[in-house]
Structure 1
């Protein structure tokens, strides 16, 4: 009983507070709204995107997006889920920090029409910088499926290091998939842009 109480208390103390809005040179990262459901459904309805995520089903439709948004916009979540938007407030992806198990985990995805433009690196760096401002000294865990080298490059540019390999179930693929585990240690964060 005491161990459970202490774990809850520790989790509560470790929360970063409400999701803020962060701007970069090309993007605005903002809290999600229920009106983002159609854009999320379009992005994650693309199997090339959903197959790289562990928990997104395929096919992915508007109802799936609305159900996820009801939790993300409730204010009850411990972490942050940023909507990645362009100048016209077009929702093109997500960067999220989620408390899972006993650690913070980073996850993200981007609409395929915006791949290979440096948006994901820009968004992950900006979101991580803000998260670490609120939660200094925090270790952040993440990972990528082994067949997603572009996502691994985003993490390496941000300062994440490979810590291991395992098999992780991918709902969209309906199979166990080799997964590269990564971690950002305190002090390893790289906010500055690097040459590609």
Structure 2
């Protein structure tokens, strides 16, 4: 690996109090498959199919590697082993930037997602400036909505979306955040 590539990867990494957010790698496919094969995770996401396969993960990683917004997709890891336990990303879609995330259910309830999302949102606003960042969660996903609320996201509406994992329409609470309302999250 060239020194230039190592330096770019180092600066792309985001370290928090308990986590390391690092760029995605092809070898993350198995860990992604493991997490998204758990219906308790996938049922709260609109795009991944269920069951989720290794081919799905490899296809997604390949498409993500070709994306111009690749710099905004991070594996959520713990510093000791840097094994993927979740994902946090900001992507340009439907004319705006959108925050999305998921986490292995064995790590739920510990503030990891608030910490990871906060770190990525802070970097996004520092680099991009005064953009509006959109997000949302299924209406029944109180934990995800709490993450957004902690960071300062404001509810902007309610809409029906198709959830591929369920093969059905579900209600999504839409949210938005500007730098003026952003509240960084710190564990403890």
Q: Structure 1 CA distance, aligned partners of 2:77 and 2:129?
A: 26
Q: Tell me what 1:36 maps to.
A: 28
Distance 1:86 1:168, change over 3 A: same
Q: Of the candidates 48, 51, 60, which is equivalent to residue 43 of structure 2?
A: 51
Q: Tell me what 1:96 maps to.
A: 89
**Does the 8 A contact of 1:71 with 1:77 survive in 2?**
no
Q: Of the candidates 93, 98, 102, which is equivalent to residue 105 of structure 1?
A: 98
| Structure 2 unaligned spans of 5+ | 1-8
Deviations 1:131-165, CA, capped at 9 Å, x for gaps: 11111111000000011000000000011010110
Q: Structure 1 CA distance, aligned partners of 2:107 and 2:123?
A: 23
Q: Tell me what 2:141 maps to.
A: 148
Q: Structure 1 CA distance, aligned partners of 2:111 and 2:179?
A: 24
Q: What RMSD, in angstroms, separates the aligned Cα atoms of the two structures?
A: 1.7
- SS at the partner of 2:114? helix
Q: Structure 1 CA distance, aligned partners of 2:27 and 2:92?
A: 25
**Does the 8 A contact of 2:115 with 2:185 survive in 1?**
no
Q: Tell me what 2:128 maps to.
A: 135
Q: Tell me what 1:78 maps to.
A: 69
Tell me the TM-score normalized by structure 2.
0.90
Q: Structure 2 CA distance, aligned partners of 1:175 and 1:43?
A: 21
| Structure 1 unaligned spans of 5+ | 1-17
Q: Tell me what 1:173 maps to.
A: 166
Tell me the TM-score normalized by structure 1.
0.86
Q: Tell me what 2:58 maps to.
A: 66
Q: Structure 1 CA distance, aligned partners of 2:111 and 2:175?
A: 20
Deviations 1:88-109, CA, capped at 9 Å, x for gaps: 1110000011101211001000
Higher helix share: 2
Q: Structure 2 CA distance, aligned partners of 1:44 and 1:187?
A: 34
Q: Structure 2 CA distance, aligned partners of 1:192 and 1:97?
A: 17
4+ long deviations beyond 4 Å: none
Q: Structure 2 CA distance, aligned partners of 1:46 and 1:166?
A: 25
